[in-house]
Structure 1
């Protein structure tokens, strides 16, 4: 048996939670040690009122993993045992991306505090980064046929579970909404949320103060703040590459879908998240990679 789910964050419309196809709803709760989804309680309650299975996820910021685990649990402690707990392991805004021990430390701390093992959300190509969690955690793998697969029908494609014995879940589209299939029945979902079936007691531990793990930042001559970050962005649609980080800046070229761009910094301004591409002769190109209001990406990161 399988369950179909959606996952939501602060910018998600309630209609996604209400979609009749979704049997489960996974809500973003926290990120790093300084962000709580302001709509988390509303989204959690709405899903419950509709009789849907629920989950909560923490988006890794890449700071101290024990502190982030404590921050997550301290903010959702009243819900522990009622929904599955998930670590969202992605490259964007994650300063520990590539660290193969970070997730292990995070899930160990969550388990110490709650007795519950997290499911780990990760793109298929990065399963190796969380491989040492395979003996205790489930894998929820992201792999899309395309960003325009706006359907509840599963695409015909293979998805690896890496060293995990099997896939717990597969997120197969991220266009108009994030749709996933979990290879569980309702009892299996509830078992992940509350392994003993009894009252879940959360260890009392004060929330840690936000930890400053920020990399180098600077403000350019136009007043826009930039943050150093190295990565590769692959476009999922045609995107303009410009000589400046403004939609009015001179055009270098239009990148076709599937273009890979190496970047060394990002900035959130004027309604977009911008990336900076190092070029020859100490010059830079700039392109948008995400809608800053909805957080919708225009491609994938690694």
Structure 2
């Protein structure tokens, strides 16, 4: 299992995390502090919003390689009021700061972080730093490593293999593969892949989220929502003002809108609080070029071109296919069609309106 992660600092300005989540972001790692003086002004608000959205939350300290106690106490004093929301504590240690503090600084800082937080912290660095120093004294701590192939603009989450290799860690817990990505229109941001499943969110006053479920949605739905609490309330709007019904754990709903952390049920004026379940975003709702898996729900056949002329095979109801993006076509009669690209030749396109996207 892997998760899509965005990390944020004040350089990104105010960011609506709901937009990131709808675009497929599973978690955020937020800069909290730097050295012994700086605090990210957006930290507290972003942590609270991420908790409401049920996202994995990390916080990091950018260490200057100086006094370990000054650095780590400054971090802990800042994040302690929000510690119940934070899944990952991370030491960002890189470049000239390593020259100043050496590996010994990292070893002492990580040990102090573990003692204060009660959780095993992670260390972040670039691949060149991982290769250049002897990290044997800290390899018991999980590694988050950065390595970029280019500084071109990238759109969406597209994890790839590490270019190069680790010298001291056997594997990495997380890989930051781009610093120039746009997610749901927000960018440029740093994006990473986290090699693990979502942690338990029960300590946030919410619910433990399941990762192993799929649901079919219309290609333009925002996604699907699975109720994880024993019972959840339907509200008349994106607030807790008027109760209009209830539902039970395990129920899955198509979602067409999001507002203030609430999700609107398709074809109904009912909303669910995002904290009561698990939301899976539909990538096709944000880009017609995205790759996704689709399932055929009504009989359809192959098309060679963006026309209504059938030239290919019949695609059976219930069969699943990888979609390489879709295109919109308007017929002479004015009818709008959506064609999913699933192959080549006579079976290049099928009618997306007769399929559902699996999220």
Tell me the TM-score range normalised by the shorter chain.
0.5 to 0.7
1:115 CA displacement:
2.3
Which string of whole-angstrom CA distances, capped at 9 and with x for unpartnered residues, describes residues 204-239 of structure 1? xxxxxxxxxxxxxxxxxxxxxxxxxxxxxxxxxxxx
Q: Which residue of 1 aligns with 2:115?
A: 112
Q: Which residue of 2 aligns with 1:132?
A: 136
Q: The residue matched to 2:31 in structure 1 has which SS?
A: strand
Corresponding position: 1:25 with 2:28: yes
Quick check: 2:124–2:144 contact (8 Å CA) kept in 1? yes
Q: Which residue of 1 aligns with 2:3?
A: 3
User: Which structure has the higher relative contact order (CA within 8 Å, separation 6+)?
Assistant: 1
What are structure 2's unaligned runs of at least 5 residues? Answer: 181-187, 205-359
> Which of 63, 71, 74 is matched with 1:68 structurally?
71
Corresponding position: 1:169 with 2:174: yes
Corresponding position: 1:178 with 2:190: yes
Quick check: 1:18–1:50 contact (8 Å CA) kept in 2? no
Quick check: 2:149–2:163 contact (8 Å CA) kept in 1? no
Question: Pairwise mapping of residues 62-211 of structure 1 onto structure 2 (< 5 A)?
Answer: 62-83=65-86, 84-91=88-95, 94=97, 96-97=99-100, 99-127=102-130, 128-129=132-133, 131-151=135-155, 152-175=157-180, 176-187=188-199
Q: The residue matched to 1:104 in structure 2 has which SS?
A: helix
Quick check: 1:117–1:136 contact (8 Å CA) kept in 2? no
What are structure 1's unaligned runs of at least 5 residues? Answer: 194-302
Question: Pairwise mapping of residues 256-271 of structure 1 onto structure 2 (< 5 A)?
Answer: none
Q: Which residue of 1 aligns with 2:37?
A: 34
Quick check: 2:29–2:58 contact (8 Å CA) kept in 1? yes
Q: How many residue pairs end up in the alignment?
A: 190
Q: Which residue of 2 aligns with 1:223?
A: none
Question: Pairwise mapping of residues 239-278 of structure 1 onto structure 2 (< 5 A)?
Answer: none
Q: The residue matched to 1:79 in structure 2 has which SS?
A: helix
Q: Which has the larger radius of gyration?
A: 2
- Superposition RMSD on alpha carbons, in Å? 2.5
Q: The residue matched to 2:159 in structure 1 has which SS?
A: coil
